[in-house]
Structure 1
Amino acid sequence: MSAAQPTWFTPPKTAAEKLADAQAAKIQQINAAYTEQVQPLVKDYPDIEQATWIAQEIEARAYLAWHVDQHGAAPATPVLDNILTGRNGDGGSETLQELSQAVLENADMFTHAQQLTGKRQRLVKQVRETKVEEALDGISW
């Protein structure tokens, strides 16, 4: 700040600063639209459960592959075993095979939904590559 300018003076934003602000706002719009479409798929699942999905899927795939011919020892399925214990409680009858199939049905649905993730990433990349603020209007969910 020069000595000739009062301390309260804020210089106008540069073109680069305006572009950066517009890019940030556009990315926020894209992320909001993405979240709006993905949220219904995961709304019933707490974050802590979602954190186990990869382990559940790995165990379910390994168990179902083993279940086809049952050669050798069954794969370890500690996550699924504990889920099954909780799901069955004192009198349930759900099997590890049934749970594994249910896990894979959900996993396949969520895998397919990752197209939305790819779309979000593509649009954000376009925003970041934009050099002219007005061009951002052509990028939308």
Structure 2
Amino acid sequence: MESKRQRQVAKQIQKDLGEIFQREMKQVFDKAFVTITDVKTTPDLGIARVYLSFLMTKDKDGLLESIREHTKTIRNHLAARVRHQLRIVPDLQFYLDDTAEYAQKIENLFANIVIPPAEVENDEE
């Protein structure tokens, strides 16, 4: 269970990283639309696991690798924004969030289910 401080820090990181990806790093990632869907921090606030969702890109794994290669730059941008709120800027770990695709897959499965109508029994014999 997350503490109140963990949730506050995660929310701040999510907000700031969203702005970083949309403003400072947009040209680096070939104008792909990157959304930070969730951030989870460890209890000591030393590591932040960042879950990303991508739009307007065909190679999601390649984009994730590019983001991981630029982790140091991203962390530096984050440090400039949170230097007055956090004593230590957490290490960033990036993961692909595929919950939207998974939900769409489940939705399609439900849409394709064919349920035959119930037969009505005749008791008038």
Query: Under a length normalisation based on structure 1, what TM-score does the superposition of the two structures give?
Result: 0.27
Max radius of gyration: which structure? 1
Larger % of strand: which?
2
Query: Under a length normalisation based on structure 2, what TM-score does the superposition of the two structures give?
Result: 0.30
Larger % of helix: which?
1
Quick one: higher RCO (CA 8 Å, sep 6+), 1 or 2?
Answer: 1
